Structure 1
Amino acid sequence: MSPPSLLAQDDSPPSSKSAVIPPDVNGFKTIVAAPEKTRPLRVAIYDGTGSGDSGIQNVEERAHQIPGAKVTRLAPDEVSTADLGARFDVIVFSGGSGSKQGNSIGPVGREKVREFVRNGGGYVGVCAGAYLACTNFDWSLGIVNARTVSGKWRRGRGFLDLRMSDDGRTLFGPVENTFKIRYNNGPIIKPAGREDLPSYTTVATFLTEVAENDTPAGIQVGSPAQAISTFGKGRVFISSPHPENTPGLENMIPRALLWAAGSPAQ
C-alpha cells in the first residue's frame, strides 16, 4: 500500500501553499495501534465541490487498511439519489469547505445523509466534515449537538498537542501521553443546547492552539478536538484536526470508521 499524501489539504483559501508534514512529528512512534478486530465495511466518501483531492485520497487509503473494505466515491447528485442505507455502512465527509459541501449536496442530499444516520448508518467528518455535522449553519446537517464558538474560521494551521479522554482511550486504545496532530482551520465547538439531540462526548481535547487572522485567542485550549455522538440509531465521529495524514495516527480513521459503523470499540 502506498503511503498517504503528506501534503496539507484544501481547508484554507485556494491561494495558500501546501505544507509538507514532518514524518517525525510524533517521534516516529505509532500513537494509535491498529484495531484488533475488524470486519469488511462499505464506505462512501463524498467527492465533489468542497472536498480537497488529497483529503479524499488520504481517507480512502486509511479506509483500505481495514481488510475487505470497499470504498465508493459519491458525487453530490449521488448523495441525493443513492440508496445510502442499502449500499453503505458509513459515509465520510473529509477536509475542504463545510459550506461548499453542504450547499453542493443541497437540502435533499442533507436530508438523505440525516436519514441514513438516523436509520443506523455511520458518519465520519474530518475538519470540513465536522463543520458540516454541526447545527448552527443553514447548510449544516445538524447531527451533532454542537455549534462553533466563533464565526471566524481562518485560525491557521499547525501541529497542535492533543490529549485523549477516557472515552477516547476506549475508542482508540491506551493513549496516555500527549501527541501531535495536524490542524488546518478546523471547527472549535461547544454544546449547542439542542433538547432534541443527545450531548456529544469529547474524545480528545486541544492542549495548544493557533489563533491567526484576528480569530479569538484562548478559546481552543481545552475545547474538543474530536467528539462522538449518536443521531437516531446511528453513530457520529467528528475530528476538527486531521489524523488521516498525521504520522503516528494512521490507525485513527480505521478505528473511527469501525466504531461509526457499529462495531465495538477496539
Structure 2
Amino acid sequence: MPGTHPNAGPAPAAVDRRRLLLAALPATALPATALLAAGCAPSAERARNEPDDRRPLALVYRGPQGCAGCAPAVANLLRRARRPYRVTYVGPGTGTPLSAEALADAELYVQPGGGADLDGAWRQLRGSADMMRDWVRGGGSYLGLCFGAYLAGRDPGFDLLPGDTNGYIDSPGTTIHHQRDTVVPVKWRGKRRHMYFQDGPAFFLDDGADADVLATYPNGDAAVVVAPYGKGRVGVSGPHPEADRSWYEEQGLRNPDGVRLDLAYELVEATTRRR
C-alpha cells in the first residue's frame, strides 16, 4: 500500500544509484502455519526442541532504514528453519550494536529489506564494512534480501560479491517497469517459480566468478546468488523469498505457485553451508 510502509529496496539505476523510492512492504510477521516446512524429518523436529542456547545464533539488522515487519519476518523464518536459529536484533535502537563482539558468536548475519535510501543506510553502516568483510572472510555467512542485497554490492556497499548489483527494473529486457509491489517469475534451478518482488536488484557477476546462481529473472539476469567469500558465504536475493501470505493479501497479489517458503529455506541453507 503506497504511503503505508517504507520501501523494500532502492533501485540504483545505472546513471543514479542514489534516488529515493516511496513504495512499500507490509509490516506483518509470518504466521506459524505458513512457516512450517513440509515433510520435516525427525532430526529437524529434534532440532526445534533443542534449548535456545544450543541453537546457532543469527543476527538480524533492525535499524531505522528497515520497514517495521521486515526484520521480524526473517527472524520468524529463521526460528522455524529445519535447523532453527536463536535470533538477536542488532542496529540502532535495538540495544545491541552491530559490532565485532556481536558477530563473533554468530553464524549468520541478515540484512533485510525495507530501506528507502541506500546512501543514508550506508552512512550508518560503512563504519562496519571492514569488520563485516573480516567476519565473513573468517567463516561467517551474510544473507541480504532486496535492500540488504544492494548493500552486499559496491559503491556503496560491503563489497562482498564477485560483481555488483543494479535495479532489475533498469536492466535491458526487464519485464517490470515500475517500483510497485508485484510478483515476478523466475527460473529457480531450472524450474519456473514466482516470487514477491518490489524493486529489488539483479546481480552482475565478474567473468569467471565463483558463484552459484540459484535463480534468474525472465531476461536472464541473476536474481538469487550464493558465493564464497574467504571461508564464509554470501547469499543475496533481489525478490523476497521470505514473503508470507499477508504480504500478498495486503497488496492484492497472487502467487501462482501458492504462498510457499521453501525457496527461503533453501537460500538460508545454501548461504550457511560449508564446503
TM-score by length of 2: 0.68
Q: Which one of the candidate residues 77, 83, 91 is aligned to 2:109? A: 91
**Counterpart pick for 2:89 among 73, 81, 91:** 73
Greater RCO structure (CA 8 Å; 6+ sep): 1
Deviations 1:56-80 (A, max 9, x none): 1111111111254200000157113
1:238 corresponding residue in structure 2? 236
CA RMSD of aligned residues (A): 3.3
2:167/2:199 contact within 8 Å kept? no
Task: Name the stretch that deviates more: 156-165 or 231-240.
Answer: 156-165
Distance 1:206 1:140, change over 3 A: same
1:128 to 129, 135, 147: 147
Q: Does 1:158 align with 2:177?
A: no
Amino acid at match of 1:78: P
CA contact (8 A) 1:102 1:110 kept: no
1:179-226 deviation digits (Å, cap 9, x = unpaired): 211111111221245x9xx4332101112xxxxxxxxxxxxx211110
* Alpha carbons of structure 1 residues 19 and 100: separation in structure 2 relative to 1, 3 Å: same
- Amino acid aligned to 1:63: L
Give the number of aligned pairs. Answer: 220
CA distance in 2, matches of 1:35, 1:115: 35
Q: Provide the TM-score with structure 1 as the length reference.
A: 0.70
Q: Which residue of 1 aligns with 2:60?
A: 45
Return the alpha-carbon distance in structure 2 between the equivalents of residues 114 and 71 of structure 1: 21
| Aligned residue type for 2:121 | Q
Match of 1:144 among 153, 161, 183: 161
What CA distance in whole angstroms lies between the structure 1 residues aligned with 2:40 and 2:123?
Answer: 35
- Matched residues in 2 for 1:229 and 1:183: separation? 22
The answer (yes or no) to whether the contact 2:168–2:199 under 8 Å persists in 1 is no
Cα contact 1:34–1:251 (8 A) shared by 2? no
- My pick for the range that moved more, 224-233 or 145-154, is 145-154
Query: Cα offset for 1:121?
Result: 0.6
Secondary structure of 2:69's counterpart equals helix
> What is the Cα deviation at residue 262 of structure 1?
2.8
Change (3 A) 1:155 1:230: farther
Q: CA deviation at 1:149?
A: 4.4
CA distance in 2, matches of 1:35, 1:226: 24
Q: In structure 1, what is the Cα distance between the partners aligned to 2:27 and 2:111?
A: 23
Q: Gapped runs of 5+ residues in structure 1? A: 1-6, 22-28, 167-175, 208-220
Counterparts of 1:248-259 in structure 2, within 5 Å, are 248-259=259-270
CA drift at 1:263: 5.7
* Structure 2 spans left out of the alignment, 5+ residues: 10-19, 29-33, 48-54, 171-176, 246-258
Residues 46 and 20 (structure 1 numbering): CA distance in 2 closer, same or farther, change over 3 Å? closer
| CA–CA distance in structure 1, aligned partners of residues 147 and 140 of structure 2 | 19
Compare 234-243 and 255-264 and name the one that shifted more.
255-264
The CA distance in 2 between the partners of 1:151 and 1:206, in whole Å, is: 8
CA contact (8 A) 1:49 1:104 kept: no
Seen in structure 2, the aligned counterparts of structure 1 residues 47 and 20 have a Cα distance that, compared at 3 Å, is closer
The answer to whether the 8 Å contact 1:121/1:260 transfers is no
Letter in 2 for 1:93: Q
Measured after TM superposition, the shift of residue 129 of structure 1 is 0.9
Q: Report how far residue 17 of structure 1 moved.
A: 5.5
Alignment of 1:90-109 (within 5 A): 90-97=108-115, 98-107=118-127, 109=128
Code of the aligned partner of 1:59: V
- Report the Cα distance in structure 1 between the residues aligned to 2:225 and 2:40, rounded to whole angstroms: 19
Assess if the C-alpha contact under 8 Å between 1:35 and 1:251 holds in 2. no
